[in-house]
Amino acid sequence: MPRPAHPVAVPAVFAPAPLGPLTLRNRIIKAATFEGVTPGGTVSDALVDFHRRVAAGGAALSTVAYLAVSPEGRTDRHCLLLDDDTVPGLRRLTDAVHAEGAAAAAQIGHAGPVANARSNGAPALSPSGGLTPMGSRLRAVDAAGIERIIEDYRRATTSAVAAGFDSIEVHVGHNYLLSAFLSPKLNRRDDQFGGSVENRARFARTVLRTVRDAAPANVAVTAKLNMADGVEGGLWLDESVEVARLFEADGALDALELTGGSSLANPMYLFRGDAPLQEFGATLPGPVRLGFRFIGHRFLKSYPYEEAYFLPYARQFRAALSTPLILLGGITEMATIETALAEGFAFVAMARALLREPDLPNRMQADAATVSLCIHCNKCMPTIYSGTRCVLVS
């Protein structure tokens, strides 16, 4: 008679947990959310305090977003460029996070077609050129440009290490440049970087290997990967799982954070919940604001919010991979975190809930029945231009 199988032990949310070479104090990560407090691309006291509050609130790892590896790869001119000039300020930030007992991650990347070319004073690069949904022109990056950007990732990694970051997250989501190369809709190349999934993943794979080789052994390397772009003709689960398998085979990553949506064409696919059309439109210049009144609903589409809305997609990756996975997307309850760990996810990442309450992890640890006050109104989204925050907190 066969013996009954032993139940698999579910990791405790608030016990120390391994992330590659790191030991994090628990399994809650602050996901990257653009902080909006880097005027002129400088590290401000407000940026340092933003992450200090998250660390003091109990998250194990706070992720700084978004650090560009190239000047034209900034989202706009106020975005931080990760280089020698920003290292001292970022060292202040990592020191502040470490003083609160947490670790610090640097999200690095190239905005590609998401970049504001006018603000940057440089063309926005994409796999194949063309126009953005808002009518801005994109320039196809050539082979020499790809080689230069790969080297920019290497230099940025060195700077991140010098700034004291414990982990480096490579942004391969939201149709930023590496994500755009994965997209069948955006990548129409006929060279070694276009066509098959393997070709479209070549750029990202080379970057990940470059970052891993440039980082010392005591620094974790992760990637944030789109499961689905949320755009017709874009990346979908069948191909993104294949990309994740290629990443796993390369052995450069300590974990993979799973995301979705397109900052270029469909950001609400990532956020879900109410679309802040009026508030977002108010942040735009006059002529653009007028046009947004008529087409804004196409850009900020409406998707109903539900707890852990990316979990059904993420389960496909959990079934296909042995790489540690970080679950993202509408996580606000202790029960959800426990469910994710029970299903084999290594960590959960929280964003809006920690904007509302940076101390939510501490409160959850003290009382598992704690309920997040975030109502998913998404009125925090337009505040990225004036300091990302929950507008319901006085």
Q: What residues are labeled active site?
A: 176
Output the DSSP codes for 170-203.
EEE-TTSHHHHHH-TTT----STTSSSHHHHTHH
Smallest Cα–Cα separation from 235: which of 266, 191, 210?
Answer: 266
Q: Which two tokens stand for residue 112?
A: 């590609």
What is the rounded CA–CA span in Å between residue 278 and residue 100? 38
- Closest by CA to 281, choosing from 377, 379, 376, is 379
Q: For residue 203, give both structure tokens.
A: 């750029």
CA distances from 309 to 21, 37, 256, 383 (A): 30, 29, 17, 23
**Alpha helices, DSSP H, located in 2-86:** 45-56
Q: What is the chain's length?
A: 394
Helices (H), 14-65: 45-56
Q: How far apart (Å, rounded) are the C-alpha atoms in residues 281 and 286?
A: 9
